[in-house]
Structure 1
Amino acid sequence: MTATVYNTLPYVIAAGEAFQEREPIFAEVGELFAKYDFKWGLCLVHRHCQLYDDEIMIADGYITQPISKSQAGEYYPENWLSSGEPYEFTTRKTETPPEELFTALREILPKHLISILGVCHVDQQEDPVDLLEHTEGRKNILVPQNTTGELKGKRNVVETTWKFEQGEVKVMAACRAYCNVDCGGHDPNTHA
C-alpha cells in the first residue's frame, strides 16, 4: 500500500461512527471466518497518522509506527482492506487470507461498509488479550487491559478488531480516542 492510499483512510472515530448495526454483520462474518478455522478476524479500517511517501505502518510487539520501507527489514501483512490489499504490517510471520475470503466478505458487507471493514490476522498461538490503543506522536501503542469488554459503549472508546469463535464475537482491541469537536473524526494531535 502506498502512503497516499493509507492517508485517505478514515480516522478511528469517523470509521467507528459509520459502523452501525453490527450484530447482523457479525453473524454473517462469523460464519465466513468459521470456514477458514477462525484464522482471521474483522477490523475497523482506520489510520493513525499521516505517512510520508516511503513509509508503511509496522507493528513490532505492541507498538505500530511508520517506518521507511528501505529500513523496515522483514515484515508481513497484518491488516487488509476488504479488497485484499494490506495496509498495516508486522514483524511477526502471518498468513495472508485467500482471495475467496475477501470476495465473500465484500458480498456480505453493505456498500457503505466495504471501505471501513477489513480483515486482521489473529495469532492462534497467543491467548486473546483485550488491548486498548492510544497514540503518542506517530506511534500507535496497544496496552493489555483485560477490560475492553467493560469499555464497550463508553465515551471516546471505539472497538477496532474482533475475533470470532464458535458463535461468539470477542473484542480484541479498542481505541481510546480523545478528539476535539472540530477534528472531523480524529485529530492525531489530541488522540491519547
Structure 2
Amino acid sequence: MNLMEPVGIKLQAVYDSAAYNSLPSLRTAANLVDENALYHLRGPIRQLFLDHKIHERFGVALLHKHFSIDESERIVEYYHSSTAWKVDHQGHSAPQYAGLIVPRSFRLYHGSIAPYEFGYSNSMVVPSLDHDFLKKAFEMFKQYGLDQTFGLRCVDKRVSDLSIEVTEGKTNIMLPRNSAPLSELIEALWVFGDDNEDDDRCHCREHCWPNKGDHDKDHSCG
C-alpha cells in the first residue's frame, strides 16, 4: 500500500536527508515553544487528535535534530534505540534485510509533507495513514505558525515507561522515566489521552560531551 497524498498538501516525492539535517538543535527548538504554542497544542491541536480518534497512533513531536547524517542515510529506530542507517532506496519505505524501513515522523518541508525519522519493521507491509487527519493536522500547524516547530510522530509502538532518550555518539537510546532529573529535561513529544489527566509527555535531556577538544551539545528526546 502506498502513502497517498492528502488533498491540498503534497507528500514529498522521494526521501531527502535535508528534511532531517535542516532541523534546529534541541535548545533552539525548545525556545520556540512559548505560551502561545502550548495554548494551541493543549487546545485545538489536542482536540483534533481526539476528534479523529488518532491519539493512540500519533503524537506531536518537537522538531529538532539529534546529529547530522549523510545524504544516503536516514535515522532508523529498532526496538529502543535509533541510529543512522545507510539506505540505497530513495522511496519513503525501503526494503532492508528481511524487513522494511517505514516512516515514523513527519514534518512540513518546503510546503510538502516529508518523513524525517523512520522505524524498522519485520513486516513487509507499509502502514496506512489517515490522510484526512494528516492534511488537517499540518494545515492547523501552519495556521498557528507552528509548522516549523511541531511535526507528527507515530506512537503506536511507544513504551510509555521509556520516556527519556539519551544520545551516545550517534545512537539514541530510550531509558526509563527516572533516568535523569526533571530539571535537566525538555519536553519533546506530546501524547494525548481521552482526558487531560491521561495526557503524557516524553522528554529530552541536554548535556555537553567532549569532541576533539571542543564541547558539542548532545541531547536526547523521547
TM-score (norm 1): 0.80
Q: What percentage of residue pairs aligned between the two structures are identical? A: 22
Task: Flag the 1:128–1:51 CA change in 2: closer, same or farther, 3 A.
Answer: same
2:70 to 52, 55, 58: 52
Question: What are the superposed Cα offsets for residues 119-168 of structure 1, whole Å, 9 maximum, x if unpaired?
Answer: 111226x66225112211111111122578x82xx2x4211111111132
| Alpha-carbon separation, structure 2, partners of 1:48 and 1:62 | 15
Task: Flag the 1:63–1:127 CA change in 2: closer, same or farther, 3 A.
Answer: closer
| Alpha-carbon separation, structure 2, partners of 1:189 and 1:11 | 11
Structure possessing the higher radius of gyration over alpha carbons: 2
CA RMSD of aligned residues (A): 2.8
* Residue aligning to 1:77: 103
Name the SS of the counterpart of 1:14 in structure 2: helix
Equivalent residues of 1:137, 1:189 under 8 A apart? no
| Alpha-carbon separation, structure 1, partners of 2:186 and 2:177 | 14
Matching of residues 92-131 of structure 1 within 5 Å: 92=121, 95-109=127-141, 110=143, 112-123=145-156, 128-131=160-163
Equivalent residues of 2:17, 2:69 under 8 A apart? yes
* Residue aligning to 2:189: 161
Equivalent residues of 1:58, 1:88 under 8 A apart? yes
Higher strand proportion: 2
* Residue aligning to 1:138: 170
1:8 CA displacement = 0.7
Indicate whether 1:175 and 2:204 are aligned: yes
Name the SS of the counterpart of 1:97 in structure 2: coil
Question: What are the superposed Cα offsets for residues 155-188 of structure 1, whole Å, 9 maximum, x if unpaired?
Answer: x4211111111132210x21101259xxxxxx99
Question: What are the superposed Cα offsets for residues 77-110 of structure 1, whole Å, 9 maximum, x if unpaired?
Answer: 1111145321100114674533322322233235
| Alpha-carbon separation, structure 2, partners of 1:46 and 1:131 | 17
Equivalent residues of 2:40, 2:144 under 8 A apart? no
Equivalent residues of 1:137, 1:188 under 8 A apart? no
* Residue aligning to 2:16: 2
| Alpha-carbon separation, structure 1, partners of 2:51 and 2:113 | 17
| Alpha-carbon separation, structure 1, partners of 2:48 and 2:162 | 23
Equivalent residues of 2:104, 2:118 under 8 A apart? yes
1:3 CA displacement = 1.8
Look up the equivalent residue of 1:76 and give its one-letter code. V
Task: Flag the 1:188–1:56 CA change in 2: closer, same or farther, 3 A.
Answer: farther
Structure 1, unmatched stretches of 5+, are 181-186
1:11 CA displacement = 1.4
